[in-house]
Structures are given as C-alpha cells and as structure tokens.
Chain A
C-alpha cells in the first residue's frame, strides 16, 4: 500500500476539503496552480537558493555519541534547530511566500501556536516586503512572549485569538475567518500539514527537504539512505511529515510519531490525538480529532504550545490507521526531563516540542546496530521560561 494523496485530497480515509463556499475560490486557485508553480524551474531555483543562503540548509545530520551510548543505538539528530529562526517551520514559509507572490497576493496571514510558525512567516514577509498578520491564541501569547516580540520586531501584526481555549485551534479559526473576509488579495500560510486539500500535501512537500537531506547525508555517512527508525514529534505534524516524506514508502524504515500526553492521557489534560481522538472534521479536513460524543472539539492540553492541538494532519491519521507509523505519547514531565538530558549529554537545549521525540526513546528498545534518526525540529531558546518554571534541573 502506497502512502500518497489522491486527487480528491485524501490519504486513505482522511483529508478532503471541508470548507465553506466563501473559501472555495481560494482553495481552488491553490489546488489548480500550486503544483505547476512549485515544479517550475524558476520557482525551484529561488526556493533552493533561499533554503541554502537564507535558511542555512542543508542542516547537519549529527551523530549524538553520548546519547547513542545511553540508549544502545546509533542515534543521529537532524538539526532543524539550526535553521534560521530556530525551527523547521521556515522551510514551509519560504515555499509559501514564493507561491503567494506567484499567485499575485499582496498580504499574508498565518496562525501560530508556539510562535515558531508565526516568526517564520513574519521573517519571510519581512524578506519580501509583504504585509503580515499573525493570529495567536491569547494563552499562547503569554507563554511564548519572546516569539510575540520577535514577530513584532520583524514588522508583523500579532492579533490575539480570544475565542475558545485561546490556543492554536482558535488562532486557526480566526485566521480562517480573516481569510473569508479578505479572500482575493490575501494568502493564508498554514504552518502545519493540516487544513483543506491541498495544504496538507503542499506543506509536507515544502518540509520534505528534511527527509531528502537525511537520505543524502546517511548515504555519505553510512553508505545507505535508509535508517532503521525515523522519530519525530507530532502536533499537527509538519516536522514529522517532512522527516517521513521520502520514507513513507520505504518499508524497511520504521516511522515513529510522538504525541504530547500532557499530564497523562487519561487525566483530561492531554493532546494525544491518536489515543483520545475519533474520526471527525476540523479546519477543513477529515482526520482524527479529540471531540466529545456530540462532536464538539475538545480543548487539548500540553506544556508545549506547538503540540497543543486537538487534531493531527490527515496523513498522520492515515499512517496511524494503516499502522505504517507507530505512535507514542509522552507526558510533560517526561518531555522536560528528556530536554534536560539532551542539553547535558549533547549540549543542545531542544524546543519543548522536540523534547517529546527524545522522551520516546525511553519507551523503545533498540539493537546496537540500529540507526536512529531523530528530527530535532527546533531549539529551546523560546522555551527558557517553560524550563525555568518547571525548574527540575
């Protein structure tokens, strides 16, 4: 069974484009044009140029020797934390800003959870001189204050989402409402592999540079393209989609997705969608979704703003349903400990989101010969306050 999107925007049972008619022309415009635009040689040239000289790609694939020793496997870190702006998010925003320009859009909107996607969007808008509005949940604005200020320094307007739980889900609602009210001159840069088709596939393709580079780099280091495991954290799932993309259909590579269990999956304070969710429709696609029996969306919880989302991208729902990827969930406490462990064994303070991927190592067993790639999706600078508040270091 091949993992790929079909022409209706479905990955198996998940995906589609569940949007109000007001957004239909925008989504159609994207769907009809994006493949042709992104495949054109001049787009590829500009995209690759910016990834290299602006983002700083390729990011290193780094053998984490002390961590490898601890877990008894050969562990490599894909250093997305070294991307300009501090996380993988910028790979997608560089792609989408070029796309928006080709579509003739003059304004950009985005949603953000931890603020990484907001910063990455504000950054490319500054680069291109395009007006930028970022919606961010009021709760997230408080817990990710440095990123709010970074966006403002970059010239973006940050608008608080005050509805619902005031986190990522609500920021996404507000961004969609803004787009409904401004359909012709504005492009919406969605930051994860969520939303109506073609967004999930489009974002995954912009992020797929991660797995493309892993293949090349492993070939150089190990003489083979495929590791035994690729591990990544999943909120909406953009870094995981990027790290998995070129391995979707390489059956010898085990894909491992790590969700946020918050205070524990059965405490009512979790964001582990594959554990707690059922099929449903949110933000334009059919996917696994945390919801009540009556189909109302449940407010998730995670210490990590970037994983605090009640759904997952439709491709991940499909990877879960088919068993192609194995899903783990990790509590706040486990993730924070893993973050400190990585800091002390490798000298890298990871983003709290990425720390979840490392915590999953404790739930897995390896053969000494196993080659494991962990996508270190972002750095921890933005999370200092979270680390300090947690305090156990």
Chain B
C-alpha cells in the first residue's frame, strides 16, 4: 500500500506537509532535513527538485532553487542522497518539480528511480493532465507512483471532478490565485472556495497549500481540508542563522504546537 494512503487511513485531519528545496541551504542537507522534519512531527514531506525557471513559485522558492542549483543539485545527486532513506525516514515523500528536468532525465527512469528509493508521489505543476493521461500514466502505475494534481479557486467544478477521478493520494488545493509565498492570510473569498470544494465530497483527501505560513493559517486551512502544505515560510525559517535541526523543530512546533 502506498504510504500516502496509509497516512490518510490513520490520520484524517491536521496533516502537515512541509516543502523544502533539495540542495538548500547546503547540497547535502537533504537527509538531515528529512529526518528532522519527521522527528518534529511532519506527516508528509515534499522535496522540491530545483529548476532554473520555476514559474509557479514566488521569490523565496525561486531563490532557494537558484542556490540549490549553484550548490550542484541535480536529479542524479538527489536520487543518490535518497538511496537508503527508507531505513531512516518512514513518512510519505513527494517529489515536486517542473517537467523539463524530468523529461531530460527520462520519465520512465525517473519513475523507476522513485520506486527504488521509496518516493511515493510526484507533483509536476506544468505537466498537463492531458499529457499525463495520454503518455505517462502507465509508467507511474507500473512503479506505484502517485501523480498529485493541483486545483485552484478558478478551477471549474467539472474539472475538479475530472481531476478527482484521475487522482490518487490527495488533491493539492492551491489556496488563492498566486505563486508560492505571495500571500500570508486567508480571505473570505478563499473560505467560499474551500467550502465549495468541501461540499463536492471528493473521493480524494485534500491538502491546502500556497499562503500557509504559521499556526494561524495552518489551523484555518485544517478547518477546510485534511491538512496543509507549508513551503516558503519553512524555507525562510531554515535560511536564518543557527543550527539546522533546531530551526526545523522550532518551526514545526510553532505551526502545530
């Protein structure tokens, strides 16, 4: 059974998914961050594959992508770092990245490698559902890898249903029309959108991401979904001076108490 399904079977609310960029702040921090996040109480971890042109990301994640690339992070390096990670970390791991580096690596190889190291799902924001269904779905299925889709406040109900039908794991609810890290609060408009999606009774669990940065926004998101995803705020937190592990546990504690 995919670790994500197991997670949602055992825990239905207040699921915390934390995003970090592989290779940031230092090239070899990946394992340290994964272990510290799990120990601190993250339920799910999203590792960003850095890309030169991350168009869905705001300045914080853009900058972490740039630093990670300068540090020498590549998919090959990342998969090497993740070798044996399942001896140390048991929470589900999701890789998030833009499609070009993965296509260059080879989608089939990529899926096989994800299975080999124990990655449970991927989020490829610029891979259209159409291309996924036509070309790549069999590769994902062969390697037990889930493909996570995004929905936004502008996504029509018909399309949300279509996405729900073709999803497994969970659905990533983008909280507002924005790039990552652009907004720091949740408005009335967003609450309407959350309620609308909740009333659709989707078969997949939902996690809310974009603009979730602290206990307040996390709590608010958790009222409307099974949990939430924090990225930019976490990147900011680990960019500060100090011991990496302590910064991570301090941040997670500040969010989930």
Contacts and interface: CB of A to CB of B under 8 A. Distances in A.
B177 A20 contact: no
A22 interface: yes
Interface in A1-41: 8, 16-22, 24-25
A294 B101 CA distance: 6
A291 interface: yes
Interface string B159-196: 10000000000000010011100100000000000000
B182 A181 contact: yes
B155 A177 contact: no
B133 to A, nearest CB: 12
A164 B52 contact: yes
A295 B55 contact: no
A20 B55 CA distance: 8
B199 interface: no
Contacts of B104: 278, 280, 291, 293-295
A24 B155 contact: yes
A295 B103 contact: yes
B interface, over-half SS: loop
A181 B53 contact: no
B155 A296 contact: no
A296 B103 CA distance: 11
Contacts of A182: 177
Interface in A258-294: 278, 280-284, 289, 291, 293-294
Given A177-B179, A180-B177, A184-B154, A281 B103 contact: yes
A16 B127 CA distance: 10
Contacts of A297: 52-53, 100
Classify chain B's interface size: 35 or more
Interface string B35-71: 0000000000000000111011110001000100100
Contact of A181 (B99, B159, B179): B179
B152 interface: yes
B189 to A, nearest CB: 11
Given A180-B177, A183-B154, A280 B103 contact: yes
B75 A177 contact: no
B199 to A, nearest CB: 20
A22 B150 contact: yes
A163 interface: yes
A173 interface: yes
A103 B58 CA distance: 28
A295 B56 contact: no
A184 B125 CA distance: 20
A90 interface: no
Interface in B89-145: 98-105, 125-128, 130-131
Given A18-B131, A289-B100, 17 more contacts: A8-B130, A18-B126, A18-B127, A20-B55, A21-B151, A24-B155, A164-B53, A169-B53, A173-B55, A177-B57, A180-B55, A181-B177, A281-B100, A282-B100, A293-B104, A294-B76, A296-B101
Interface of A: 8, 16-22, 24-25, 163-164, 169, 173, 176-177, 180-184, 278, 280-284, 289, 291, 293-297
